[in-house]
A and B are shown apart, each in its own frame.
Chain A
Amino acid sequence: MATPSIKVSETPLVLYTLRRADDALVLGHRLSEWCGQAPMLEEDMALANMGLDLLGQARELYAYAAQVEGGGNDEDKFAYLRDVRQYRNLLLVEQPNGDFARTMVRQLFYAAFADLYWRAMMKSKDATLAAIAAKSEKESAYHLRHCSEWMVRLGDGTEESHRRAQTAIDDLWAFTGEMFEADDSERALIDAGIAIDAAALRGEWLKTVSVVASEATLALPRSDWMQRGGRSGRHSEHLGHLLSELQSMQRTFPGATW
């Protein structure tokens, strides 16, 4: 029989930490799906490496959420024993890999955000979050550079690579607004100097993404209609499929270890 999901006491700090952890885990898992299938060996290594960084960040954040919650959950339980509706990640990071251009556009949108976010979080009054941020920002800076260079190659490459990159931008754009939102639970932590006010990063994010897009001869959509839901557990159909693979072992063989 399948293992039941855990219960999580989502106090503001636990919820806040889980949201960041889920972003990193889900995106890291998406990147790992490329392993052995990327267009070239170098990129296979790059995607797996970036996935590994994200997985490391997720582990630190889950471990901290478990410590704050103090209810016997741990990083593995958070990852393997929560159902779709308990996941708090952005809709952006759960979107399928699609073609290589789509994966790179998704990564660019996230890395440009994460880079600013972690740098801001280094000043958090919460010492553990500040330490995790200081570790993560070095990684996100490298990811951002890698994606930026690929965007130029794709956008300013062939007619087909340009078309694919532009389509990916147009399709994924509606998922970028959610990155800058905060609910009441988060608002209180922002006021306390613990959480980061992502809304304040939007201008800088847009500037970074615009510079890359312009260098890549790509256009950013004018539409400002944004899809939301991931932060409160309302996900696209894709996350359930992702979790069924990520969790199958622990759900089928409860407590299995190496």
Chain B
Amino acid sequence: MVIAMFDDAALQQHAFDVAANVVDPEIPVLTIADLGVLRDVTVDKGRVEVTITPTYSGCPAMNMITLEIELALEREGFRDAKVRTVLAPAWTTDWMSEEGRRKLAEYGIAPPKPASSRRGLFGKDQVDCPQCGSPDTEVLSEFGSTACKALWRCKTCREPFDYFKCH
């Protein structure tokens, strides 16, 4: 009995690591663990269930992420893994790991500001340029290449860059 429990715990850790290493198809430097999209991994009698939460209601990457998790687990010998999507608690960029924020900035995407700054009828964000670090930047478009990003430009180095919207 003790051995069976130990086995499930070891399996759970392994399954968690496998799922945690799946990357976001639209921001391939971030894993779903970095993003805070991965909520839980459980193992019951050898059967894995992974719980994820969507970033945006209509994010088209969610289907892809579900498939990627299933494939990654399959490759590691976990048969019939189940991926479940939950809405509550609602995902927030505050869940993004420090590691994730650092990787984003290195990749050229400005990491999100704390979500407490997201309210207000008119925009007043201040975002540092991920290329040169200058705070002298301006928003070009509040909506960018994916649902989670906005397009900004640095007025110092003149480079345009993506900003991961706080949410």
Contact = CB atoms under 8 A, between A and B. Distances in A.
Residue of B87, B119, B120 with most chain A CB atoms under a 10 A cut-off: B87
Interface stretch (A99-107, A133-141, A161-169, A226-234): A133-141
Interface stretch (A53-61, A189-197, A217-225): A53-61
Looking at chain A, what size class is its interface with the partner chain?
35 or more
A45 B88 contact: no
B121 A59 contact: no
A176 B30 CA distance: 43
Measured as residues with beta carbon below 8 angstroms from the partner, the interface class of chain B is 20 to 34
Contacts of A130: 88
A56 B59 contact: yes
A171 interface: no
Contacts of A57: 57-58
A45 B87 CA distance: 25
B19 to A, nearest CB: 22
Contacts of A56: 54, 56-59
Max chain A C-beta neighbours (<10 A), residue from B92, B123, B145: B123
Given A131-B88, A134-B88, A142 B58 contact: no
A152 B122 contact: yes
B43 interface: no
Contacts of A139: 56-57
Interface stretch (B3-11, B44-52, B74-82, B135-143): B135-143
Contacts of A136: 57
Nearest to B85: A60
A134 B87 contact: yes
A131 B87 contact: yes
A212 B120 CA distance: 11
Contacts of A132: 87
Interface of A: 41-42, 45-46, 48-50, 52-57, 59-60, 127-128, 130-132, 134-136, 138-139, 141-142, 144-146, 148-149, 152, 208, 211-212, 215
18 contacts: A46-B142, A48-B143, A57-B58, A60-B57, A60-B87, A130-B88, A131-B88, A134-B89, A134-B90, A135-B54, A135-B57, A142-B118, A142-B142, A144-B121, A145-B121, A145-B142, A146-B142, A152-B122
